[in-house]
Structure 1
């Protein structure tokens, strides 16, 4: 009997890749507000769990920024019909009361997903936000985020490096 697309993806595709990240992680988060000026470096912990029978993962993390605690959550999946990684992101610092939706492509070692954010106080133009996952090994990953100001090159905003615990 032929396997369905989801079953095949769970066996050796994108869903297998993200599900393999399930576990507890510990590392460091770095934050930049200006190009090449590191603003903060803090310990970070994360728990990644498989949800809805492996369709998605929940990436829950805790860190701090300037000594103040911050927490966040990403729901990450792979959209089989459109062949895109997807995510929804909320946190207690960067997103405020907004929820970012983003989609993107597989990369050699993970994915690169592009979303946007804005605030009417800054005008009607949205800013880009790219989130990348790099799987270094089964026990080491890096989540990076890049701010993309209109008309400018992207700049690093966050880098969370983790090792499995």
Structure 2
């Protein structure tokens, strides 16, 4: 990727420009589902910070949710791979990913950041899919939705964090 391609992506309307619009401090609510079609099993407060790293090439999302026995924390790196025309992420979380890193990628289609990864069931069975989507309905709203995809079934919402911006946007 040449510097001209990255500079163009950082310009108004470019992919990196859209990603950097997510930078800032956020707070909201995370809901977690364990069974499709059932009410959320948990609803927790969450605070997060998203900042640009590596000269604006990537975003780092660090967050903490819940309190006491339900407390969790995590971090994700989000990127737009210009040469591959793909979104990419690496995610770790003290509740969901255990000691593994969830690597995800997908073609960069449209304006929503959406990636797919997979994880093992811990018993040697077929891998399960996981899709993560970031949508920013307005400058001061961000929704991070994660879907579980069983090997032989339809995807189901597993986690949804609805954020509202606290403080000004930042790089």
Mark yes or no: TM-score above 0.5. yes
Question: How far apart in 1 are the matches of 2:100 and 2:23?
Answer: 26
Q: Secondary structure at the match of 2:33?
A: strand
State which of 53, 57, 60 in structure 1 corresponds to 2:59.
57
CA RMSD of aligned residues (A): 1.8
- Cα distance, 1:65 vs. partner? 7.8
Aligned to 1:140: 141
The 1:126/1:66 distance shift into structure 2, 3 A limit, reads farther
Question: How far apart in 1 are the matches of 2:93 and 2:67?
Answer: 12
The 1:75/1:108 distance shift into structure 2, 3 A limit, reads same
Structure ranking higher on relative contact order (CA contacts 8 Å, 6+ apart): 2
- Cα distance, 1:158 vs. partner? 0.2
Q: Secondary structure at the match of 2:56?
A: coil
8 Å CA contact 1:130–1:145 kept in 2: the answer is yes
Question: How far apart in 2 are the matches of 1:110 and 1:151?
Answer: 26
Q: Which runs of 5+ in 1 are unaligned?
A: none
Q: Which runs of 5+ in 2 are unaligned?
A: 167-171
* TM-score for the superposition, normalised by structure 1: 0.93
8 Å CA contact 2:49–2:63 kept in 1: the answer is yes
Question: How far apart in 1 are the matches of 2:84 and 2:158?
Answer: 28
* TM-score for the superposition, normalised by structure 2: 0.90
Following TM superposition, where does structure 1 have runs of at least 4 consecutive aligned residues deviating by more than 3 angstroms?
A: 105-109
8 Å CA contact 2:76–2:91 kept in 1: the answer is yes
8 Å CA contact 2:24–2:49 kept in 1: the answer is yes
- Cα distance, 1:108 vs. partner? 4.2
The number of residue pairs the alignment matches comes to 163
